[in-house]
Structure 1
Amino acid sequence: MKTFATLMALMLASPAAAAPLCDNLGFAGLLASCNRGEDIHLTLASGQPLGEDVALQSGAYYTLVIEADGSAELAVEGSSFFRAIWMNEIVINQIEVRPMAVDSIEFDKAGVVELSFIAIKPGTHVLKIPGSTGASQEVKISIQ
Structure 2
Amino acid sequence: MTPQSLPQRRSGVSSIETIVACSLLTATMSLMAPMLVRNSRLIDDCRDYRTGLDELANQLDRLEGLPVAQLESAMQSLAPSEFAASRLPDCKLTGEVHSDGVLWRITVQLAWPTRFGPRSPLTLCGWSTGAAAAPLEVIE
Q: TM-score, normalised by structure 1?
A: 0.25
Please tell me whether Structure 1 or Structure 2 has the larger radius of gyration of its CA atoms.
2
Higher strand share: 1
Higher helix share: 2
Instruction: Between the two structures, name the one with larger relative contact order (CA 8 Å, sep ≥ 6).
Output: 1
